[in-house]
Amino acid sequence: MRKVTILLLAAAFVTAPPAAAHGGKTFQKGFVSTVSAILPNVLGVSANVTGGDARLRVSNYSGKIVVILGYEREPYLRLGKSGIWANTRSPAFYLNRYRRSRGLRTGQADAGAPPRWKQVGEGASYEWFDHRIHWNPTRPPPGVRRRPDRIQRVFTWRVPARVDGRAFAITGLLGYTPPSSASGRPRWALGVAAAGGLGALLAAGALGVRARGRKPRAL
């Protein structure tokens, strides 16, 4: 399982775009967040991360009403046929305005109050800074501090939601890869090397099974 996780991380790093210089849309160097699954699956609903680890993007083509829950499990976003609506009483409405949260002012939000909806978009898709999917502190996570030269998983994450009142969750993981090695190789080269090395190990294991006269188990 650990090998599979590392291979998935390496693949994500190989395909991830470089950090873009667009103010608040930039992401922390070396971090990439990816969606793993929607659990349970909701037909017509999809999600992905944009900006490396910055924004969560959700698309709703289910024909049903999807509600994304905030940090206190309050209604935060509503995606439906009438467009995209945000609850202005949700703390997430204010905390998610910037890549690094600037906190809340006294009386600015009330997660326990009835929602007050404001239209913030049209169509079926919307993306926002969600602080559950990226590393927020300025100090790197413990694993990165110990081994800044290693591709590694930082944490798994979960964003709760509802579709027509039924609960589901968007799940994913945040990973880290060194932006460059000591020799100055770019991070895509490190990702290729890591994926290639792990692929070679798996291939060697399969050859070992054949050498012992047993057929490899079907994937």
Q: Residue 156: is its pLDDT beyond 70? A: yes
Partners of 50 in the β-ladder: 55
Please, are residues 130 and 39 in contact by the beta-carbon 8 Å criterion? no
Please tell me the chain's helix, strand, coil percentages from 3-state DSSP, rounded to the nearest 5: 25, 30, 45
State the distance between the two ends of the chain, measured CA to CA, in whole angstroms.
Answer: 14
Instruction: Look at residues 199, 209, 166, 214 and name the one whose alpha carbon lies nearest to residue 11.
Output: 199
Partners of 125 in the β-ladder: 59
Q: Residue 207: is its pLDDT beyond 60? A: no
Query: CA dist 33 to 64, 179, 198, Å?
Result: 27, 15, 21
Q: Residue 132: is its pLDDT beyond 80? A: yes
Q: Residue 4: is its pLDDT beyond 60? A: no
Q: How many CB atoms lie within 10 A of CB 183?
A: 6
Query: CA dist 64 to 42, 129, 171, Å?
Result: 10, 24, 20
Average pLDDT, stretch 78-86?
Answer: 97
Q: How far apart are CA 218 and CA 174, in angstroms?
A: 30
Q: Residue 17: is its pLDDT beyond 60? A: no
The pLDDT value given to residue 28: 66
Range of lowest pLDDT (31-40, 90-99, 159-168, 189-198):
189-198
